Structure 1
Amino acid sequence: MKTHTPPKPRVALLGAPIDLGASLRGACMGPAALRIAGLEEALRERGFDVEDRGDVAPRTPAPQVSGRGERARNLAEIAAWARSLSDAAYETMRDGAMPVFLGGDHSLSMGSVNGVARHAAEAGRELFVLWLDAHADFNTPASTPSGNMHGMSAALLAGEEGLEEVFGDEPRRPIDPANLHLFGIRSIDRDERNLLVARGIDVVDMRLIDEHGASVLMRRVLERVAARNGMLHVSFDLDALDPAIAPGVGTDVPGGLTYREAHLIMEMLHDSGLVTSLDVVELNPYLDERGKSARLAVDLVSSLFGRQVFARGPDNALAPALPTRSAP
């Protein structure tokens, strides 16, 4: 009797070589670095059907937007990227593949998550976002101290005012602020903090992780997503990691996630079966040490896609203890 072999899961890699949202240039080389570090090969080894769809191109010409000066730097250019990335994410999800966006600075998530949210709404499901980052990225043009738009991406996704021109008349699908989970946070601006409190955003900072452990706090997020039959987008900023293990980022903050904490988070995400889309952002090869951060990013993504030291079966249960021999 012939057995039916289910098709391999499909993954689409999409580069987003954007660095105009950051203060330091160089993250535009991130997609190439992740490819050179072997991301596609690592996912194929896990049994995935992987298609590298190349780099997304920004909308040309750039949308016409009103000038905001230093309050939202490079707004027109980032709007052009966001609109193209939103369409790419939406079309990839409709095609039945899991989009993995290779960045690029974190402003790319304005587009990638918006496109995923459009698809989730059509499917009648809630979208949750896990924001692994050292920073909250919840500034608006009214609150930002720098004008850098990679620090406004989470605010746009939660529907904050002042960023309407990023999508203009094109589809914008904000997520419920209650469905945004910031994890690994250790740098928040003053006005940004007030806005996070006012909106009731779930912020898991490094103090909470130190006190309660990454697994307890991650399980709380995953249980909430599962209870609502939600889709989960993971937006992974490499500066969530401690700069001692991931130096190739433009806005490093001491005291980040350790190597094992990061792998545990990725392993738990895989075990949950909830992740439907992914960003890997803020890798800046210009600041890296001989590819150290790029290789670590590939290792962590591999864990998210199922690489384990030893498979223990469902629920990661320990094997039963061996029977003890009675004394003669």
Structure 2
Amino acid sequence: MLLNTRSSGSEMPPPIQIVAYACGIGGQFAGSRDGPAAFRNHIEQFADLRKRVGWHSWIEDGRAFSELGSQQVLESIITLSRQLAQASFDIITEGGFPVLIGGDHSAAAGYWSGICAALAPEGDVGLIWIDAHMDSHTPQTSPNGYVHGMPLAALLGYGHQGLTTLLSERPKLKPAHVCLIGTRDYEPEEKTLLQSLGVRIFFMDEIHYRGLPAVFEDALRLVRQASGGYGVTIDLDGLNPEDAPGVSTPAANGLAKAELLTAMQGVYNDPRLVGMEISEFNPANDIDNRTLALMHALLAGLQGKRDGRT
């Protein structure tokens, strides 16, 4: 279901436009479908932040993977992905800045496809993928059929045609402009695909050895080579479970919240930043609103730099 939440009035909308993906059918645990509503209820308590962001589209599916089966899930997510792609495309072409709040990470295929299509006249788009997982399976390599494990492969042109051809027949991302940060939980098939394409992967071992600031500097240098700008996707399970417990698939030994927020300070005011995604929030697993606080900090940092459409 797609609900457009934009006002029909003549007042200029806020530059930051949120696309909500209230869906959890891409994985085993459906709780992430409640993430956008919990986050919206949270920011409603903060007038300054509430006034500076708009809710552009609400894309939802309230079912669970177990109710559907893998083939029906894939078909449903392709439909949702078309809606996501159109929403982010529209925001870019209308001069706004799209932010995705998920929901499971299957949303990334549609959301970034729309951004890449809208910016195609400017050139290629780069992407920093912060995640414990690689999300680079295809239906042929996936051990379980979970589509939240497939979006990066789809953006690179590998997977079901319904996901690889959203708004454009060509792959949305070039491997040379993509990097992963915080990777530590993956299957061999995913690693084989990404390494064969030459995608840069910053595993956690490298981050522990070199430090996140140095890794982030390298990542930014890489994605800034894309002439159309770059985006950042943050799967919350990329962080330490102690800092972000509100996820469905936690993985130990992740990024520290404080270090990530510091690293993002060098991103917010970059005019080449074209989009940001925060996915896999499962409010049922949050503890003391730690994950909500992290999401709040990420959005607040972004809106502080985007006021006035800078």
Shorter chain as normaliser: what TM range? Answer: 0.7 to 0.9
Residue 16 of structure 2 is aligned to residue 19 of structure 1? no
Structure 1: stretches of 5+ with no match in the other structure? 1-6, 59-68, 308-328
Give distance in 2, aligned partners of 1:169 and 1:176.
Answer: 16
Amino acid at match of 1:15: A
Cα 1:92–1:186 shift into 2, 3 Å: same
What is the Cα deviation at residue 266 of structure 1? Answer: 1.4
Residue 75 of structure 2 is aligned to residue 76 of structure 1? yes
Aligned to 1:66: none
Give distance in 1, aligned partners of 2:255 and 2:123.
Answer: 31
Aligned to 1:210: 208
Aligned to 2:163: 166
Kept in 1: contact 2:82–2:166 (CA 8 A): no
Q: Radius of gyration: which is bigger?
A: 1
Amino acid at match of 2:129: W
Cα 1:225–1:9 shift into 2, 3 Å: farther
Describe the superposition over 1:251-294 as per-residue Cα deviations: whole angstroms up to 9, x where unpaired. Answer: 10000011221112211212434321111100001221243211
Aligned to 1:31: 36
Describe the superposition over 1:47-68 as per-residue Cα deviations: whole angstroms up to 9, x where unpaired. Answer: x84222241357xxxxxxxxxx
Kept in 2: contact 1:267–1:306 (CA 8 A): no
Kept in 1: contact 2:126–2:225 (CA 8 A): no
Amino acid at match of 2:206: L
Cα 1:268–1:78 shift into 2, 3 Å: same
Give distance in 1, aligned partners of 2:13 and 2:24.
Answer: 34
Aligned to 2:54: 51
Tell me the C-alpha RMSD between the 2 structures. Answer: 2.5
Cα 1:212–1:43 shift into 2, 3 Å: farther
Kept in 2: contact 1:181–1:203 (CA 8 A): yes
Q: Which runs of 4+ in 1 moved over 6 A?
A: none
Match runs of 1:246-285 below 5 Å: 246-285=244-283
Kept in 2: contact 1:86–1:113 (CA 8 A): yes
Match runs of 1:80-229 below 5 Å: 80-121=79-120, 123-160=121-158, 162-166=159-163, 171-174=168-171, 175-229=173-227
Alignment partner for residue 285 of structure 2, among 280, 284, 287? 287
Give distance in 1, aligned partners of 2:224 and 2:176.
Answer: 15
Give distance in 2, aligned partners of 1:167 and 1:159.
Answer: 5
Amino acid at match of 2:117: R
Amino acid at match of 2:21: A
Amino acid at match of 1:300: L
Cα 1:293–1:228 shift into 2, 3 Å: closer
Q: For 1:37, what is the secondary structure of its paired residue?
A: helix
Give distance in 2, aligned partners of 1:282 and 1:115.
Answer: 20
Give distance in 1, aligned partners of 2:293 and 2:230.
Answer: 24
Q: For 2:245, what is the secondary structure of its paired residue?
A: coil
Amino acid at match of 2:138: T
Describe the superposition over 1:284-310 as per-residue Cα deviations: whole angstroms up to 9, x where unpaired. Answer: 012212432112211123234448xxx
Give distance in 1, aligned partners of 2:216 and 2:167.
Answer: 34
Structure 2: stretches of 5+ with no match in the other structure? 1-11, 62-68, 306-310
Aligned to 2:64: none
Q: For 2:126, what is the secondary structure of its paired residue?
A: strand
Q: Which moved more, 1:287-296 or 1:211-220?
A: 287-296
Normalised by the length of structure 2, the TM-score is: 0.85
Q: Which moved more, 1:281-290 or 1:49-58?
A: 49-58
What is the Cα deviation at residue 108 of structure 1? Answer: 0.5
Give distance in 1, aligned partners of 2:77 and 2:290.
Answer: 28
Give distance in 2, aligned partners of 1:211 and 1:263.
Answer: 19
